[in-house]
Amino acid sequence: MMGVEHIHALGALAGCEVVALCDPHHESLDRAGAALASSPPPIGAGSSRGTSVARFNSVDDLVATCDFDVAVVATPNFTHRAVLEPLLHSGAHVLVEKPLCTTVSDCREVIALEQATHVRGRVVWVGLEYRFMAPTMRLLEHSRNGELGRLRMVAIREHRFPFLQKVGDWNRFSCNTGGTLVEKCCHFFDLMRLILGSEPTRVFASGAQDVNHLDEMYDGKVPDIIDNALVIVDFASGARASLDLCMFAEATKNEQEISVVGDLGKVEALVTEGVVRTGLRANGWFQCEEDRIGHGDVPASVLQHGAHHGSSWRQHMAMQSAIRKGAPATVTTHDGLMSVAMGEAAHRSIMLGRPVLMSEILAP
């Protein structure tokens, strides 16, 4: 799924051409090839896509025989660590889908390898692309420019449909995904850190698998992925954040709603509708400005094919710009690690029934 979204996003990126596809699953390779063939020709070139693209079944073969500048890793979460190994050794720039890995210890190993294989100007970027949704970007501007005063609370609500079907049903088991609060919610933990400009200190969560996938069976096993949770996070700045996740809430207008409150005012983003509201306490009740920003400048070909309001395309533009300028990644492997660590802390809190200190999770 995500590989195809990336292909369509890259198709709308000037100066970029997909030169190879890699997947051990033939049907996925065919689907990716079809997506590539249906994309418009590379911007600035005249040829059609998808005909001369090399195909590989293993990343080792890809690295051994193919000449490429950037690799995009959109494989199941539990494979990220192994897939990244040859790619990091190759010296190519890498965008790896979230979560960076399924555990903090795997994230640390990847970061150690990134450092050991350091190449000047090489960009390693984690695909936490909710940062690049137009309403989220606007919310970040309002949160960080001082107009809201000192930031005190962040509330994020995601009410949505259940997890989709994946190739080989890997996302039905926490050992493959890292658990719902790592797999899905790393996006929101990343946003909390970014909005507040502070680090989490303590996480308290309650959650369960109450409704979804209980009637499914894979190799004799029932899925073990939670489908609803409430998570509270304390930050070093004194701010607190909450996440309200429900994955059996199809009857929802805005899949994500994000609210940030400072001592002077508030901003909220209704992501699906593309609405951002801001207001200052000094102006009193109901004095909010409502901006219907939609999803910004995203090309129609991208919006049509992506499930993330064009954020993958914006993310690729940001990464391309960093590569060209020799600038570091905006979304680093450290960001990837922290978003996984917060999810891991939330899962541990549910298991133990008590708050978990981030220092417990991040201890060497």
Q: Catalog residues that contact ligand NAD under the rule CB under 6 A.
A: 1-3, 22-25, 28, 59, 74-77, 79, 83, 97-98, 127, 129, 166-167, 183, 308
Smallest distance from ligand NAD to CB 102, Å: 9
Nearer to ligand NAD, 23 or 106 (CB): 23
End-to-end CA gap in the chain: 35
Smallest distance from ligand NAD to CB 157, Å: 17
Instruction: Give the span between the Cα atoms of 314 and 12, in whole angstroms.
Output: 10
Cα angle 126, 76, 114; round to 5 = 40
- Whether 283 contacts 300, CB under 8 Å: no
* Coil, helix or strand at residue 252: coil
Instruction: Give the span between the Cα atoms of 206 and 228, in whole angstroms.
Output: 9
Nearer to ligand NAD, 5 or 268 (CB): 5
Instruction: Give the span between the Cα atoms of 302 and 313, in whole angstroms.
Output: 7
Nearer to ligand NAD, 77 or 320 (CB): 77
Smallest distance from ligand NAD to CB 82, Å: 7
DSSP 8-class letter at 168: G
Smallest distance from ligand NAD to CB 239, Å: 25
Q: Which residue is nearest to ligand NAD (CB)?
A: 28
Smallest distance from ligand NAD to CB 3, Å: 6
Nearer to ligand NAD, 25 or 221 (CB): 25
- Whether 132 contacts 314, CB under 8 Å: yes
- Whether 48 contacts 70, CB under 8 Å: no
Nearer to ligand NAD, 76 or 294 (CB): 76
